[in-house]
Structure formats: C-alpha cells, structure tokens
Amino acid sequence: MFVRVNADPAARLNSLGALGMESDSNPIVSLNEFTYRKGTEIYGEKEPADYVYRVESGAVRGYKLLSDGRRQISAFHLAGDVFGLESGSEHQFTAEAIVDTTVRLIKRRSLESAAESDALVARNLLSMTMDNLQHAENHMLLLGRKTSLERVAAFLLEMDKRLTAAGVMVLPMSRRDIADYLGLTLETVSRALSRLHELGILGFIGNSQRQIVLLDRRQLAGFDL
C-alpha cells in the first residue's frame, strides 16, 4: 500500500520515525536494511505480508498484472515513503525496485505490538491506513473520469510535490511506468508531455527527458480538473 505525501510534510505520516518506530527510539523494534538492484522484486503479490518497508533511497513501483497481460501500477514509493502496510495477511500488489533502491524493513508483528502499547503509534497507523484508502479512491477517479491530458497533469503535480528539488523534478520512473500508472499508452503519455512542452508549461533537461522543470504550475493545475 502507498503512503501519499502532500505539499505539507508536517501533515503527513510517511516515515517510521513519525510512527515512533526508529530503532533508537523504540527498544522493541529491530530494523534491517537491504539494497535491491534495478528491476528486482522486493515482494510478490499474495506473498505473506510479514514486513513493512520504508524507502531509504531510490524508488519502488507497486503493480498488478492483469489477466490480459497488461501491467497496472498502483503507486510509486519514493524516499521516505512507507509501503507494504496491508489490511490482510497477504500483499495485494507486487513491489519492484525502479532503480537501485535501499529499503529498511520492520516486522509487521513488531509494529502491531508497539501499537497495542502506544496510543500514538496506533493512531498514526490508523491515519496511514486512511491515507492509503484515500489514495486508492483518488487513483480510481483519475483512471475513470479524467482525460489523458488531465491524467498526465495530475501526475506531474503529484510528482512536483514529492520530487522537485532546486527547481528540477527528477523522475526515477520511465514513461512506460507513467503510462501503466495512468492507464494510458506510452504514445499517449509522450504526446501529452510534448503538448505541455509546446504550451510552455514545462521544459526538459537532458536527452532522457526525465528531468523536468515546471514553468507554469498554475496553467498545469488548470488541466487537473
């Protein structure tokens, strides 16, 4: 599951530290750190959800393969995000490293034990669960009700809040990833980005065009209806 980060970091609970789950702040918690190479699976759909994860560096995609072979990406987990917090005993999606990625793991049972004895941890876990539900609802609305240009605009605005540093948005994901997240074809995403570039709303840096500068956020927001 996905923990969304909005424009106000203080209002979001997107780290184990916000839960009081850092190893140096809670004696019952033991955190392990692992690094996954680009394209490596972190966990698979329907595998036991025994751990909760936090991205230390890199990026992770959560996805499900549909019956017709298409891939639907449900969320992108970026540095600081917690993921893998499930309502049931199994993971609902597969998680895979988009680039070389380091994550910290905490046993789910340790987290639940801490919540049983600490009201703040329990409240923060509930808040994270509600955030996951809200993200799922927003994503469903995006896929079902918005045009292709509106979807791309919404994606860029989300990434602007989560990734932009020194005025530049550096996307770890490919256009194929973006297309599978937005329920569009690769060609449609490329056309939408080119159109926004033609309108002077964004600019590209480098040949890969994964470094984006938003030149007119207000006009971009006008497409996210």
Q: What is the pLDDT of residues 83-123, one digit of tens each?
A: 998 888 999 999 999 999 999 998 888 888 877 888 887 78
pLDDT at 118: 80
Q: How far apart are CA 52 and CA 1, in angstroms?
A: 10
Q: CATH 2.60.120.10 occupies which residues in the chain?
A: 9-143
Q: How far apart are CA 202 and CA 194, in angstroms?
A: 9
List CB contacts of 43: < 8 A, sequence separation 6 or more: 49, 51, 84, 91, 94, 95
- pLDDT score of 11 more than 50: no
Query: pLDDT tier at 56 (50, 70, 90 boundaries)?
Result: very high
Q: How far apart are CA 62 and CA 67, in angstroms?
A: 17
Q: Indicate the residue type of 213.
A: V
**H-type alpha helices, the chain:** 108-117, 119-145, 148-163, 175-182, 186-198, 217-223
Overall size of the chain counted in residues: 225
The CB-side HSE value for 225 (13 A sphere, CA atoms) comes to: 7
Percent of residues, the chain, with pLDDT higher than 70: 86
Q: CATH 1.10.10.10 occupies which residues in the chain?
A: 147-223
pTM of the model: 0.82
Which class is 9-143 in CATH?
Answer: mainly beta
Give which of 75, 85, 177 is closest to 136, Cα–Cα.
75
* CATH no. of 147-223: 1.10.10.10
Give which of 173, 165, 137 is closest to 60, Cα–Cα.
173
Contacts 24+ apart (CB under 8 A), 161-164: 161/5, 161/6, 161/7, 162/5, 162/78, 163/78, 164/214
